Structure 1
């Protein structure tokens, strides 16, 4: 089977290196189209069916995050970021917007090639997660869109991750530790007051739906529709 990939990368050396490697390694079974700027990449993603999008983040005209957000409005195509930006906040932002994987430059070509193949093959049999809902609040894990009272709201990465964890466990208490791990990662040591601050910001963003987020003393937080 032949697969088609869109690479959005403004560094010509990297584009040529990846195209040459994939052509040789796959025996021409993986074809790569290249866009050198974000606007062209977004247009090509809209106009053509691809099996995978490979997006740099720092791009002229539209950055990779903007492309990902736009593509997720009309497609579930797998998306992988290729970038030199290794800050955890950037990685979490990528996942919040709906990317499937993330690799940081510089990287091993064989490892990258295998990650790409694994992602494409998983996607062919992948059943996407269903919409997460509580009352008039919904979160779509496929495209990162959050709707509260029929209005789309934009959440920072950590608030998005916290809300997603709560909705995935609707009606159950989610411990502070679990929420910290969801938003900051397993190796993070975060003061619980930082979590409380993000919960406060999340409630503010949700407006009237904020009442669904309950504080369970000495245990954590719970989301539900019971007022």
Structure 2
């Protein structure tokens, strides 16, 4: 799957140059051209990385960086003609992941982008499980589906994680209870049913109806 990169750059020649360069290297590019809705556009696109200039109309890059970071962990590389240590320090303090000064060497920029995407994608694989558009985030016990975030309890998260680890297969009730038993919390048959039903309702409220299927007399599966 192509990595999606958002370019937030108001200087059209540079924006076009970056778009052509990154497209040539196989990235999907979203180039922001209207800066009155830059925050909404960046958050809506659910990108893998943002290239952000500091000198922007309406809102400067520092404001944009901080506002994005309050709502998203998307990697941000600041690409700017400002080259003072204070600019770099401010960018990092506001949540940027890297800082590249103009004029930049295109191969170095490409290498920085590639390294950032490899690192964040590795972390995402280790900390999440994805299936049919649903992403279970293990580090904060939440499910993300179509930009909705669903909070799960510890037991709900363990149940869903076990089912996702065995997707396409039936997981017995005994196996689920054994998984929860290992957490040093007592779980009985009725408590398991209650927890499974809670997960179901939370998923259904987000539009995931019948995501967890009951196999009568056998267990559950996704």
- Shorter chain as denominator, the TM-score bin is 0.5 to 0.7
Change (3 A) 1:12 1:50: same
CA distance in 1, matches of 2:60, 2:42: 14
Residue of 103, 109, 114 corresponding to 1:112:
109
Equivalent residue number for residue 144 of structure 1: none
Deviation at 1:41, TM superposition (A): 2.2
Pairing partner for 1:81 from 66, 78, 83: 78
Q: CA deviation at 1:121?
A: 1.2
Whether 1:61 and 2:47 are equivalent positions in the alignment is: no
Partner-residue secondary structure (3-state), 2:29: strand
- 1:14 maps to which residue? 14
Q: Deviations over 1:24-48 (max 9, x none)?
A: 223xxx1111113543321111212
Instruction: Work out the CA distance in 2 between the residues paired with 1:53 and 1:62.
Output: 16
Q: Tell me whether 1:5 sits opposite 2:5 in the alignment.
A: yes
TM-score by structure 2 length?
A: 0.53
Task: Give the number of the structure whose alpha-carbon radius of gyration is greater.
Answer: 2
Unaligned runs of 5+ in 2: 125-222
CA distance in 2, matches of 1:102, 1:124: 20
Matched pairs, number: 124
Which residue of 1 is the match for residue 46 of structure 2?
49
In 1, the alpha carbon distance for the partners of 2:37 and 2:28 equals 18
In 1: Cα distance, 2:85 partner to 2:72 partner: 26
Return the offset for 1:70: 0.5
TM-score, normalization: structure 1? 0.52
> Which of structures 1 and 2 has the larger relative contact order (alpha carbons within 8 angstroms, sep 6+)?
1
Q: Over residues 66-113 of structure 1, what are the superposed CA-to-partner deviations in whole Å (9 max), with x where a residue is unaligned?
A: 111101111000001010001111100000001100100001111111
1:25 and 1:76 mapped to 2: Cα distance?
A: 24
Indicate the RMSD between aligned Cα atoms, in angstroms.
1.3
Deviations 1:128-170 (A, max 9, x none): xxxxxxxxxxxxxxxxxxxxxxxxxxxxxxxxxxxxxxxxxxx
Instruction: Tell me: CA distance 1:2–1:43, structure 2 relative to 1, closer, same or farther (3 Å).
Output: same
For 1:38 and 1:54, locate their aligned partners in 2 and report how far apart those are by CA, in whole Å: 14
CA distance in 2, matches of 1:106, 1:5: 20
| Runs of at least 5 residues in structure 1 that lack an aligned partner in the other structure | 128-227
